[in-house]
Amino acid sequence: MSTRRLIPAPRPRLLTRRTALLGAGTTLLTSACDSARPRAGFLGAMERVNARLQAALFDENQLAPELPPEETTPPGAFPQYFISDTVPRAPPGWTLRVGGLVARPATLTLAELQRLPGTQYRLRHHCVEGWSAVASWHGVRLRDLAEHVGADPAASYVELRSFDSGYWSSWDRPSAFHPQTLLAYGMNGQPLPPEHGAPLRLYSAVKLGYKMVKYLTEVNFLTEPTSGYWEERGYEWYAGV
């Protein structure tokens, strides 16, 4: 099975309808991105303005259109991107750790996650490199997991970490709690395949592909924003679709 890697070539103009509307404020350079303090400096300030504008335009009740089965991207035509050289495989005894500002920190097995209220939908997602693909996904809404662990209302950010070479990202709360943002354990009616993030990955209608962390190990509810793997390499943090 061939694997492909996302080549870090930030193309901010390609990003989204909203950033196209917003024009300036999205230009970031990898070299200007200090991974220790990614939000610092002029570019950090510009991106903060951009994130705030995008957040202001975000409508948490607006749903992406669900697509009919015939729109499903055939398995062979579905690009696969992960930063590792080979398909990451879950360590034996895999669990999801859920922590941060929550009343009931939890370590959940896949079976326990599957016992939480589930949902499923068929949507198109967009990679920053310009391709998009359609699949149906089933899993637990991130907002339902938040409720399960008693996430504090003061936790305005959600950080997601994986066992794939330290890949990670972080989200604003309204996007994370959108009804079409879920922790998916199934794809096209089957268990989630290893290429697409087994045993558990984030999937959403409201962010670009690189925000949807696959191979999850950890979800943390936080009061401050953090960064992410591609975000530290110059990609936009908000990355709304």
Ligand X SMILES: Nc1nc2c(c(=O)[nH]1)N[C@H]1C(S)=C(S)[C@@H](COP(=O)(O)O)O[C@H]1N2
Catalog residues that contact Mo ion under the rule CB under 5 A.
Answer: 127, 209-210
On whether the CB atoms of residues 230 and 26 are closer than 8 A, the answer is no
For Mo ion, the closer CB: 133 or 142: 133
Smallest gap from Cβ 110 to ligand X, in A, equals 17
Smallest gap from Cβ 98 to Mo ion, in A, equals 25
In the block, residue with structure tokens 């996650």: 113
φ, ψ at 41 (rounded to 5°): 80, 180
**Residue 15 interacting entry, from Mo ion, ligand X, none, C-beta within 5 to 8 Å by type:** none
For ligand X, the closer CB: 177 or 229: 229
Smallest gap from Cβ 9 to ligand X, in A, equals 12
Beta strand pairing call for 190-191 and 181-187: antiparallel
**Residue 80 interacting entry, from Mo ion, ligand X, none, C-beta within 5 to 8 Å by type:** ligand X
Q: Taking the C-alpha atoms of 156, 159, 160 and 163 in order, what is their torsion angle to the nearest 10 degrees?
A: -160
Q: State the sign of the Cα–Cα–Cα–Cα dihedral 80, 110, 206, 175.
A: negative
**Residue 146 interacting entry, from Mo ion, ligand X, none, C-beta within 5 to 8 Å by type:** none
Smallest gap from Cβ 89 to ligand X, in A, equals 12
User: Among all residues, whose Cβ is closest to ligand X?
Assistant: 209
For ligand X, the closer CB: 50 or 169: 169
d(CA 176, CA 206): 9
For ligand X, the closer CB: 107 or 132: 132
Number of neighbours of residue 241 by Cβ within 10 angstroms: 19
For ligand X, the closer CB: 58 or 81: 81
d(CA 158, CA 173): 6
At residue 184, the 3 state secondary structure works out as strand
Smallest gap from Cβ 152 to ligand X, in A, equals 26
For ligand X, the closer CB: 82 or 221: 82
d(CA 190, CA 176): 24
**Residue 164 interacting entry, from Mo ion, ligand X, none, C-beta within 5 to 8 Å by type:** ligand X
Smallest Cα–Cα separation from 23: which of 32, 31, 12, 33? 12
**Residue 167 interacting entry, from ligand X, Mo ion, none, C-beta within 5 to 8 Å by type:** ligand X
- Chain positions contacting ligand X, by CB under 6 A: 6, 79-83, 127, 133, 162, 164, 167, 196, 209-210, 212-215
